[in-house]
Structure 1
Amino acid sequence: MYDVIVVGARCAGSPVAMLLARRGYRVLVVDRAAFPSDTVSTHFIHQAGLARLNAWGLLERLRATGMPALRRMRFASGDLVVEGFADPIEGITEVCCPRRTVLDALLVDAAREAGAEVLERCGVVGLLFAADGRVTGVRASMADGGEREFHARFVVGADGVNSTVAARVGADVYRAVPATGFVYYSYFSGIDWSHQNLIRDERQFAACRTHDDLMMLVVMRKRDAYRTFRADPEAEFQAVFDHVAPEFGADLRANGRQEEPFRAIHYADNFYRRSHGPGWALVGDAGYHKDPLTGWGITDAFVYGELLAEQLHLGLSGDVPIDDAVAEYARRRDRDSAGVFGLTVAMSELTLSPFLASVLGAVSRSPSYQRKFFTMVGGGLSSDEFFAPDSLAALYDEVGTPPAERLLPADAGAH
């Protein structure tokens, strides 16, 4: 009998398991994969996410893998450019883009070291329920082809967008925004670029240095271009760089060497899914998913995985009824993630709204607000604070934006 079973051992599941095991709870983690293994991903970890790794004693371990530190970022939409970096966030002065083969294995190892039992090549095929409907465990398909039942006081689904746990408990989606795009990415040698996230005419590319002296290059297009893109991904991938920033396109064509096949992400809609119930909870993309453009998936998995572990501890220790404690996790996650969710949905249109164009146009002319912008992007400042009318008024005053061009959140409906 376990205290908690965690289904899924990647960026949300392993931290939950590790943190609970460190408190002395008996934890089982199961995952269909064997580690190290790859998965489609944005790779990016913001400062707020690295701060969690640092608090858990894992950041130096990740740095020791040869992970490049990034300390300058460039965002552009058309000819509007915002460039710089955030102020330190909880002492963290860099961001990074680690390979998932490295990051996920590190997290799984940390969960094991903390005392969690980890079963790889073990896929959950069903849940166990008490007569009153409470989840009491899982039924899993084992690596040897057989099935086993595992019992626990609580089950956590950290098993991604297509969560088996969510499906088995009937967790409904209560907020959804249709996805607008798709992603292709791969890894290239022979080029040496700083971090880039550039958009023009509903085409986007991002560049970020990762392990093994490779550049991770990412292209995003709107969904109506998917069939054409899929028919000739090499040419279409290159064409995005040529169109968005011809100088990068020329360098990629002349010097870039693609080292691995393309990965494609035809991703799910943006959503919030009911993430708690009697004996169960959802964390990571299983409960809350958004467009990859802002790269917040891993960071949110860390932040809200830690929050769930804290709330589970309150429940397992008897300080608070466990279902109430986990309901509070879901409430706080929804409240605290709303700004990132809204900004991500807006940016994923690959065209700036008049409101965002007004604000970022002003930001591009203010070094101090560029730092504030990247501090918001990194998780050190909420979007509500950044986009507050008083803050925007001060920005517009500083750069001399004419009154007719000063758009505020009320003019946008929502940012």
Structure 2
Amino acid sequence: MFDVIVVGARVAGSPTAMLLARQGHRVLVVDRARFPSDVISTHLLHVPAVAILRRWGLLERVLASGTPPYEYFRMDFGEFAIHAPAPAVDGVQHPRCVRRTVLDKILVDAAAEASAEVREGFTVDGLVVEDGAVVGIHGRDRTGAQVVERARIVVGADGLRSTVAREVGAEPYGATPSLTATYYAYYRGVAAGGGEIYSRGDRAVVVFPTNDELACVFVSCPTKDFAEFRTDVEGQYAAAIDRVPELAARVRAGERVERMRATADLPNFFRTSHGPGWALVGDAGYHKDPCLAAGIMDAFMCAETLAVAIHSGLSGERDMDESLAGYVAHRDAWFTPYLDLTTRLAAMEPPRPEQVALLAAIAADPAESTRYIGALQGSTPIGEYLSPGNIGRIMARAGQ
């Protein structure tokens, strides 16, 4: 009998398991994958996520993997560009982009070192439910043997298509259908000194340097264009990059080292994320388009909040249902403005004149550019940054 079973061992599940095991709880974490293994991802660790890794005692392992520090972000809109370093958080200055083969293995190992039991190659077929409450899981281990395990609470950290969410009937809310599709590949000889984001109307091109002196080069298009894009992936991908001539020259001079990958069904939603004997974390409970590249950071933040809530419930400090409701309320209050911003950006609609004027004013002011990047990475609440008073201050400084 476990205190907690966590289904899913990647960037939401392993931290949740690790934090609860460090509190002395008996934790089982299972995943159908074996580690190290890859997964579709933007890979980016915004500065708050890097600060969280340092707080967990894991940052040195990530740095030892050779992931490069980002000296700046460049958000290029064609006529002007916001180019600035990210603001520091808790003494941490630089974002990092970490291959998931590296990051997920570090997190899984940390959960095991905290005394969580980790079972890789484990497929969860369903939940054990008694008297209306979830009390465990049933599935198959790596040998195919049928297994039943019981716990006081089961956490679904198993992603967008969560088995736990499906089994408990967790309903989405605040939902917007998928807005973009993305293709990406890894290149050698393309990376610069930071993250590059090029907005070119109905296409976005992103370059994120990562491990092994590689860069991940993304091209995104509106979902309505996905069917056409698929008829000539290489041609469409190259045509989008050609809209940025300097980058296109670097890509042509570079070497693609891995196959092209694609993401298409990327809905935006919250899900009901707690009930009798269960909770959801990470993409299982809150998912959005990757245009802000904040998924890993969001998963870390939610894992910390959920671990505190579960510990409070297990220890008797608070009623478990009340504690989990507090976790969800906190999550939704913090992330709703980011979900709203994401859906606006992912729509790839032409910006209104006042939006163009605001971005141009930010681009013309180096200090303001850094503050803007801080708002996008979450070190300044986005609602606060985009408030009418703050926008008025920016435009007044720009003489508009």
TM-score by length of 1: 0.94
Quote the residue 1:278 is aligned against: 276
Query: Counterparts of 1:77 and 1:121 in 2: how far apart (Å)?
Result: 44
Quote the residue 2:398 is aligned against: 399
Quote the residue 2:55 is aligned against: 55
Asked if 2 retains the 8 angstrom alpha-carbon contact of 1:77 and 1:351, the reply is no
- Is 1:5 the counterpart of 2:5 in the alignment? yes
Query: Counterparts of 2:33 and 2:178 in 1: how far apart (Å)?
Result: 27
Residue in structure 2 matching 1:269, options 261, 267, 270? 267
Aligned residue for 1:325, secondary structure, equals helix
Post-superposition CA distance 1:111-131 (Å, at most 9, x none) = 000000000000110101112
Query: Counterparts of 1:278 and 1:356 in 2: how far apart (Å)?
Result: 45
Post-superposition CA distance 1:69-101 (Å, at most 9, x none) = 112000122323111022211211000111000
1:284 maps to amino acid: G
Post-superposition CA distance 1:102-144 (Å, at most 9, x none) = 000000000000000000000110101112x010000011111
Post-superposition CA distance 1:298-345 (Å, at most 9, x none) = 000000111000111110100001111011101100001112211111
Aligned residue for 1:205, secondary structure, equals strand
1:306 maps to amino acid: E
Identity of aligned residues (%): 42
Query: Counterparts of 1:289 and 1:182 in 2: how far apart (Å)?
Result: 15
Give the alignment of 1:270-349 within 5 angstroms.
Answer: 270-349=268-347
- How many pairs does the alignment contain? 398
Quote the residue 1:38 is aligned against: 38
Give the alignment of 1:319-398 within 5 angstroms.
Answer: 319-354=317-352, 355-398=354-397
Give the alignment of 1:250-261 within 5 angstroms.
Answer: 250-253=249-252, 255-261=253-259
Post-superposition CA distance 1:277-303 (Å, at most 9, x none) = 011000000000000111010000000
- Is 1:96 the counterpart of 2:113 in the alignment? no
- Is 1:215 the counterpart of 2:215 in the alignment? yes
Query: Counterparts of 1:352 and 1:99 in 2: how far apart (Å)?
Result: 33
Query: Counterparts of 1:76 and 1:352 in 2: how far apart (Å)?
Result: 15
RMSD: 1.1
Asked if 1 retains the 8 angstrom alpha-carbon contact of 2:182 and 2:218, the reply is yes
Quote the residue 2:203 is aligned against: 203
1:368 maps to amino acid: A
Asked if 2 retains the 8 angstrom alpha-carbon contact of 1:158 and 1:285, the reply is yes
- Is 1:247 the counterpart of 2:243 in the alignment? no
Post-superposition CA distance 1:5-50 (Å, at most 9, x none) = 0000000000000000001100000000000000001111111111
Hey, which bits of structure 1, 4+ residues long, moved more than 6 A? none
Query: Counterparts of 2:255 and 2:38 in 1: how far apart (Å)?
Result: 21
1:353 Cα deviation (Å)?
3.1
1:352 Cα deviation (Å)?
4.9
2:147 maps to amino acid: R
Asked if 2 retains the 8 angstrom alpha-carbon contact of 1:135 and 1:278, the reply is yes
Instruction: Indicate how the Cα distance of structure 1 residues 36 and 318 shifts in structure 2: closer, same or farther if over 3 A, else same.
Output: same
Asked if 2 retains the 8 angstrom alpha-carbon contact of 1:78 and 1:201, the reply is no
Quote the residue 2:166 is aligned against: 167
Asked if 2 retains the 8 angstrom alpha-carbon contact of 1:2 and 1:27, the reply is yes
Quote the residue 1:409 is aligned against: none
1:378 Cα deviation (Å)?
2.1
Gaps of 5+ in 1: 402-415
Gaps of 5+ in 2: none
Query: Counterparts of 2:196 and 2:128 in 1: how far apart (Å)?
Result: 47
Query: Counterparts of 1:26 and 1:208 in 2: how far apart (Å)?
Result: 38
**More deviation, 68-77/187-196:** 187-196
- Is 1:185 the counterpart of 2:184 in the alignment? yes
Asked if 2 retains the 8 angstrom alpha-carbon contact of 1:67 and 1:97, the reply is yes
Query: Counterparts of 2:266 and 2:367 in 1: how far apart (Å)?
Result: 36
Asked if 2 retains the 8 angstrom alpha-carbon contact of 1:186 and 1:261, the reply is yes
1:233 Cα deviation (Å)?
1.8
1:201 Cα deviation (Å)?
2.0
Instruction: Indicate how the Cα distance of structure 1 residues 75 and 351 shifts in structure 2: closer, same or farther if over 3 A, else same.
Output: farther
Asked if 2 retains the 8 angstrom alpha-carbon contact of 1:89 and 1:375, the reply is no
TM-score by length of 2: 0.97
Quote the residue 1:137 is aligned against: 136
Post-superposition CA distance 1:158-179 (Å, at most 9, x none) = 0001000000000001210122
Give the alignment of 1:12-91 within 5 angstroms.
Answer: 12-91=12-91
